[in-house]
Amino acid sequence: MTNRNQIEIVALSFLSVCFCLGMSLGVTIRFGRIQESNATATEIPPFSPDSIPSLGDEEQTITIKAVGDIIPGTNFPDHRLPGNPNQLLPQSVRSYLQEADILFGNFESSLTNHPYSAKDISRGQTFAFRSPPAYAQLFAEAGFDVLNIANNHTMDFGIVGFKDTVKNLEAAGIKTLGHKNQILYLEANQIPIAMIGFTTYDLYNSVHNLEAAQALVKEAKNNAKIVIVSMQVGAEGTSALHVKDKTEYFYGENRGNSLKFARIMIDTGADLILGHGPHVPRAMEVYKGKIIAYSLGNFLGYRTLATNAQTAYSMILEVKINSEGKLVSSKIIPVHLNRQGIPQIDQYFRTVGLLRYLNNHDFPDSNLAINNKGEIVVLNQETD
């Protein structure tokens, strides 16, 4: 056999290996994303703890990325929409939203063409937001899997607008969270996951009804390996930066006790708490080995949300959890909103500095620290 023939055989063998490897990687990427379980809130998903295959020394994990409040502009009562919707989520930001098994946000608008608002916006500090239904595809293309709708704006255009919002998001492949008595069952990397959304209104799952909230978390924990709780709790604005162990009020509304609610949810079985609603970032803590993010701040508020001072400080929170619900790693990807309320990756790490200050002030004895890369470091892994 000539040297040339030998070289050709070796080359063909190498290409075959690369092709097989490429096919394997393609399958891994194709099926590594989140899959919805067929279970409903009252059904038990087909899983048992023994059904998860062992991967030997490789630890099974899921990666959750979460952002805060989202309003992609409004066409009510006047036109405040961008000329090109794609500018709402710049590519530099989208790239940091990738590689998550679950990408979550709090959607505080309605996706409808319904002409009549359910709110009297002539009253002071009363706002109604309506965004084009086609914007649902914008968030699907950015990678969002789940959007919370349990908040004070999804019903801005009544039940018609609410149903349109849910229909348009789900038509784009985005699950909606926060419906009354809902437990959203999902699966990622062969790990069963449950998500529950809470807010301060009885129309949804209410943070004020602790007994009902605990019952939902217990049911979720019986049927899934990981339970994620979303909560819209607390007062709003730059005067509401701090976590306080007391009931908060905003314009006379009881906005709940975020610290009490979050800790009780973890005591009951939750593995991660994602807070939103105050429109500013708040401190984080590790409680019994689980992360509580008390507020993720604003993420997108095109010509709708304030962007002064800390209302422009934002983040993408990344949390990696193993199949037993234990924290593996976490980090803050700092974001800053420009004057129009469009998110930009923040090279100055302003949100990281703010969270360090808030953590030191609100939880001075905490075992959570944030390094200069935005990575969350747990100084003591004890969970009791």
Average pLDDT, the chain: 88
Dist. CA 294–CA 241, nearest whole Å? 10
pLDDT at 333: 98
Give this prediction's pTM.
0.85
**Tens digits of per-residue pLDDT, 223-273?**
999 999 999 999 999 999 999 999 999 999 999 999 999 999 999 999 999
Query: Predicted confidence band at 122 (pLDDT cuts at 50, 70, 90)?
Result: confident
Dist. CA 79–CA 157, nearest whole Å: 16
pLDDT digits (tens, 9 = 90+) for 277-320: 999 999 999 999 999 999 999 999 999 999 999 999 999 999 99
**Predicted pLDDT of residue 124:** 80
pLDDT of residue 99: 94
Are the CB atoms for 300 and 343 separated by under 8 Å?
Answer: yes
- Residue 14: Cβ-neighbour burial (10 angstroms; 0-12, 13-18, 19+): exposed
For the stretch 26-75, pLDDT in tens is 333 222 344 544 443 433 343 333 333 433 346 899 999 999 999 999 99
pLDDT of residue 379: 87
Residue 197 confidence (pLDDT):
98
Q: What is the pLDDT of residues 344-374, one digit of tens each?
A: 999 999 999 999 999 999 999 999 999 999 9
CATH 3.60.21.10 fits 58-378, yes or no: yes
**pLDDT value, residue 11:** 42
Q: Where are the domains of the chain?
A: 58-378
* CA-wise closest residue to 269 among 213, 209, 328: 213
Closest to 262 measured CA to CA, from 239, 286, 296, 240: 286
pLDDT level of residue 381 (50, 70, 90 thresholds): low
Kindly indicate the confidence band of residue 123, based on its pLDDT and cuts at 50, 70 and 90: confident
**Per-residue pLDDT averaged across 70-90, rounded?**
97
Q: What is the pLDDT of residue 52?
A: 38
The angle, 0 to 180 degrees and rounded to 10, between the axes of the packed helices 258-268 and 210-223 is 40
- What secondary structure, in 3-state letters, does the chain show? CCHHHHHHHHHHHHHHHHHHHHHHHHHHHHHCCCEECCCCCCCCCCCCHHHCCCCCCCCCEEEEEEEEEEECCECCCCCECCCCHHHHCCHHHHHHHCCCCEEEEEECCCECCCCCCCCCCCCCCCCCCCECCCHHHHHHHHCCCEEECCCCCCCCCHHHHHHHHHHHHHHCCCEEECCCCCCEEEEECCEEEEEEEEECCCCCCECCCHHHHHHHHHHHHHHCCEEEEEEECCCCCHHHCCCCCCCCEECCEECCCHHHHHHHHHHHCCCEEEEECCCCECCEEEECCEEEECCECEEEECCCCCCCHHHHEEEEEEEEEECCCCEEEEEEEEEEECCCCCEEECCCCHHHHHHHHHHHHHCCCCCEEECCCCEEEECCCCCC
Chain segment 185-206, per-residue pLDDT in tens: 999 999 999 999 999 999 999 9
Which residue has better confidence, 216 or 15? 216
